[in-house]
Structure 1
Amino acid sequence: MSALPFGHLSSLVTAALSFSLAAGAGQAGAIPVAAAQAPAAPAGTALVQGRAAATANPLYAAGVLPSVACPAGSIKAGSAASYKAFMTRVARCLGLAWGIQFGKAGLDFTPPELRFATSRVSSPCGKWPAGAGGYYCSSDRTIYIGLTRAVLKNPYGPNHAQFMAHEYAHHVQQLAGILPYYGRAVWRAGTPARLALSRRLELQADCLASAFLRGAAGDLQVTPEHWEAMLEWTARNGHKSWPKNDHGRGSSQAYWMERGFERGAPRACNTFTAPRRVVD
């Protein structure tokens, strides 16, 4: 294992970040992250509704997520422009991979938009979630990413790629009907059940993100040593930003990240039928 400083992994997934304005980083509008090369999905497959959208989604039967070339470049410490360029390229790679996967499942796919912000901007989904370095809003299908001094000090690309892939996975869940099911289910649930559903949703996003990262590991410079360091850091620290345990324990996050990376298939990410002990 490499002696990778765990401090380089501080923004993994949606860890807490300080939202002081990043020096020299202007707030950008929404950027379309279209995957022009992604094939159109075949027509005729109806979107699965209700609980089956989470437990028996067509994406689970579509095989391994395709490996895609992802020459995202590198991040220059302190450079908002290089960070935005890197994250935008990763988002385009995600669009290509998921566009192919949705096509294999016979589902329609459209990419989200991407917005970088130097402050906790509001969205149609409400205020910026506490503790989050970024978030996905299903109402406007936009990924919001914070541009902060803490983020720009950290040029470690695989860390940020995993973070982007996690937020992109929420868009995948929206298009596949999983997020709409979740929204209806939590509306009717009590607090313990809401937290349990939230953990299943977030841990699935961890897993789906890692399935993508597996197929782009070479271009994104995810070495075995760095990946093991990311898992170890997550197991020890992944839960610390979420006092209500709505994202799962650090050990659960690491479990689903490792599962997605090893298997590379959405089928391995079906947290909604997984035993409680691995989604706590």
Structure 2
Amino acid sequence: MSALPLGPLSSLVTAALSFSLAAGAGQAGAIPLASAQPPPPPAGTSPIQGRTAATANPLYDSGRLPSVACPAGKIKAGSAASYRTFMTRVSRCLGTAWGIQFGKAGLDFTPPKLRFATSRVSSPCGKWPAGAGGYYCSSNRTVYIGLTRAALKNPYGPNHAQFMAHEYAHHVQQLAGILPYYSRAVWRARASARLALSRRLELQADCLAAAFLRGAADDLQVTPEHWEAMLEWTARNGHKSWPKNDHGRGSSQAYWMKRGFERGTPGACNTFTAPRSVVD
């Protein structure tokens, strides 16, 4: 930490706050924890159904995510246009990487839609989650990204790339059958079990996002020093925005981010069979 330049580190720490607020918004917006009835499977649902989709998914045996060229450019502080361009390019890189990965797993893949919003727009999944910088809606398979002052104020690309990759990971979970399993399991579960399931879902998204980031680290300028700083910040602060502990402790978030980045495989991100001690 002390060896990092003050300028970039200041941007990193501030941007990390935006990341932590937005990181788990996909679950909050896409899947209400209290539903009157389990939602029907959407069109194009994965052929893998039920708990097996979460615990023994073919993606887990598909090997390392490919390294992809991702010249996303840079974000200019205060520039909505540069932020939109950067996030759009990162989304395309994610589509390339996950399209290849799904092919290796023998699963169909289609990229999500991407929508930028200057206000808290509603979606088929409900209202924009309070405090979130963006979220994923499974009903229309759309990633919503807010063009907020907080996001535009901080031009540190790796943080925003991790945030984009996390929301995209919820789409990956949807196509792989993991998110539909979660939705139905949550509907049947009691409150404490719902929170535990939510933590497994969100921590997996952290891990999958980091696995992608490993393969695009050079173009996205994810240096070892800044990655370590991000992990340290997350371990200390990642849980503070989620008082119900539906996203895991900061140390758990950092654990799964580190695991995904170091191994680079979906198989390293199987939170649904992991011991409770690392998903709490």
Q: TM-score range by the shorter chain?
A: 0.7 to 0.9
Match in the other structure for 1:57: 57
Match in the other structure for 2:153: 153
Is the 8 Å Cα contact of residues 113 and 142 (structure 2) preserved in structure 1? yes
Compute the RMSD of aligned alpha carbons: 1.1
Is the 8 Å Cα contact of residues 20 and 241 (structure 2) preserved in structure 1? no
Q: Are residues 1:175 and 2:182 paired?
A: no
Q: Which amino acid is the alignment partner of residue 143 of structure 2?
A: I
1:35-114 correspondence to structure 2 within 5 Å: 47-114=47-114
Deviations 1:159-206 (A, max 9, x none): 000000000000000000000000000000000000000000000000
DSSP-derived class of the 2:19 partner: coil
Is the 8 Å Cα contact of residues 15 and 238 (structure 1) preserved in structure 2? no
Q: 1:13 to 1:109 in 2, by over 3 A?
A: farther
Q: Aligned partners of 2:100, 2:53: CA distance in 1, in Å?
A: 19
Is the 8 Å Cα contact of residues 236 and 250 (structure 1) preserved in structure 2? yes
Q: Are residues 1:239 and 2:246 paired?
A: no
Q: Are residues 1:206 and 2:206 paired?
A: yes
Match in the other structure for 2:32: none
Q: Aligned partners of 1:182, 1:14: CA distance in 2, in Å?
A: 22
Q: Aligned partners of 1:105, 1:234: CA distance in 2, in Å?
A: 31
Q: 1:219 to 1:225 in 2, by over 3 A?
A: same
Match in the other structure for 1:185: 185
Q: What is the Cα deviation at residue 13 of structure 1?
A: 4.5
Q: Which amino acid is the alignment partner of residue 9 of structure 1?
A: A
Is the 8 Å Cα contact of residues 208 and 266 (structure 2) preserved in structure 1? yes
Q: Aligned partners of 2:183, 2:117: CA distance in 1, in Å?
A: 26
DSSP-derived class of the 2:173 partner: helix
Match in the other structure for 1:262: 262
Is the 8 Å Cα contact of residues 75 and 83 (structure 1) preserved in structure 2? yes
Q: Aligned partners of 2:21, 2:171: CA distance in 1, in Å?
A: 15
Match in the other structure for 1:9: 16
Q: Aligned partners of 2:230, 2:237: CA distance in 1, in Å?
A: 10
DSSP-derived class of the 1:200 partner: helix
Deviations 1:122-156 (A, max 9, x none): 10000111232110000000000111111101000
Q: Which amino acid is the alignment partner of residue 125 of structure 2?
A: C
Match in the other structure for 2:33: none
Q: Aligned partners of 1:47, 1:274: CA distance in 2, in Å?
A: 24
Is the 8 Å Cα contact of residues 109 and 175 (structure 1) preserved in structure 2? yes
TM-score by length of 2: 0.88
Match in the other structure for 2:138: 138
Is the 8 Å Cα contact of residues 13 and 162 (structure 1) preserved in structure 2? no
The alignment-based identity, stated in percent, is 85
Q: Aligned partners of 1:182, 1:120: CA distance in 2, in Å?
A: 26
Q: Which amino acid is the alignment partner of residue 19 of structure 2?
A: L
TM-score by length of 1: 0.88
Segments of 4+ in structure 1 off by > 6 A?
none
Q: Aligned partners of 2:162, 2:20: CA distance in 1, in Å?
A: 6
DSSP-derived class of the 1:63 partner: coil
DSSP-derived class of the 1:135 partner: strand
Structure 2 residue ranges without an equivalent (≥5): 24-45
Match in the other structure for 2:29: none
Q: How many residues align?
A: 251
Match in the other structure for 1:28: none
DSSP-derived class of the 1:202 partner: helix
